[in-house]
Amino acid sequence: QKEVEQNSGPLSVPEGAIASLNCTYSDRGSQSFFWYRQYSGKSPELIMSIYSNGDKEDGRFTAQLNKASQYVSLLIRDSQPSDSATYLCAVGNNNDMRFGAGTRLTVKP
Amino acid sequence: DAGVTQSPTHLIKTRGQQVTLRCSPKSGHDTVSWYQQALGQGPQFIFQYYEEEERQRGNFPDRFSGHQFPNYSSELNVNALLLGDSALYLCASSFVRAEGYTFGSGTRLTVV
């Protein structure tokens, strides 16, 4: 079982729709959870962090965490073509951070 | 405020050679982590350095080694390069673990 699993996609949504990205993790002791966005040929950039169960909203982005289910999600409202990228789920535990393989999102105009 | 800087940007090496990649963390950060990202894959954790010591290591062979200097900058060394070592090598720095990492722009290593 992979430490961090994501639907590889690709996920395609029309402009203005809600994009839903999902992630599960295997280590119940994980303490911190992150979503990174990576444009093609670029390095990952942090867009959201969440540490406790529930929802966390930042502009058009909402991260959701359910530790009992070992599940993290990211919702992108009013998706824009500029949101087209690979979204990486990352899980932190003590001294390292492990990443999923990423979900490729395409927002069609 | 300078972010994380990595050098070189691109590198081509021959199988069997050795390579050194360099990273300067973001100002105020004291922890450096190295990742390998193959095309179409997520970053794979190599190791993390804090207070000039390797604090955690991922599932990488001993051919991969590193160092952290008193100014918090870091090097990644790979010996006996294999074709499979071709990847984007990412350096990430942090200060407080819970804040997430800041990534450099990476070094693209090609082994031929």
Cβ contact A61:A47 at 8 Å: yes
- Asked if B103's CB is within 8 angstroms of A43's CB, the reply is yes
**pLDDT > 70? residue B90:** yes
Smallest CA–CA distance, residue B4 to chain A, in Å, is: 11
Residue A19: C-alpha distances to residues A36, A78, B55 (Å): 15, 8, 37
Q: So what's the pLDDT on residue B34?
A: 97
pLDDT in tens, B60-89: 999 999 999 999 999 999 999 999 999 999
pLDDT in tens, B39-68: 989 999 999 999 999 999 999 999 999 999
User: Which chain B residues contact residue A49 at CB under 8 A?
Assistant: 98-100
A35 closest CA partner among A85, A79, A83, A90? A90
Residue A51: C-alpha distances to residues A103, B99, B101 (Å): 21, 10, 15
- Asked if A100's CB is within 8 angstroms of B105's CB, the reply is no
Residues with Cβ within 8 Å of B8's Cβ and at least 6 positions away in sequence, in order, are: B21, B107
Cβ contact A91:A26 at 8 Å: no
Nearest to B105 among A31, A43, A88 (CB): A43
Nearest to B42 among A92, A95, A99 (CB): A99
Q: So what's the pLDDT on residue B100?
A: 81
User: Which chain B residues contact residue A100 at CB under 8 A?
Assistant: 42
- Asked if A100's CB is within 8 angstroms of B42's CB, the reply is yes
Q: Mean pLDDT over residues A62-84, rounded?
A: 97
- Asked if B98's CB is within 8 angstroms of A51's CB, the reply is yes
User: Which chain A residues contact residue B90 at CB under 8 A?
Assistant: 43-44
B86 closest CA partner among B29, B30, B19, B22? B19
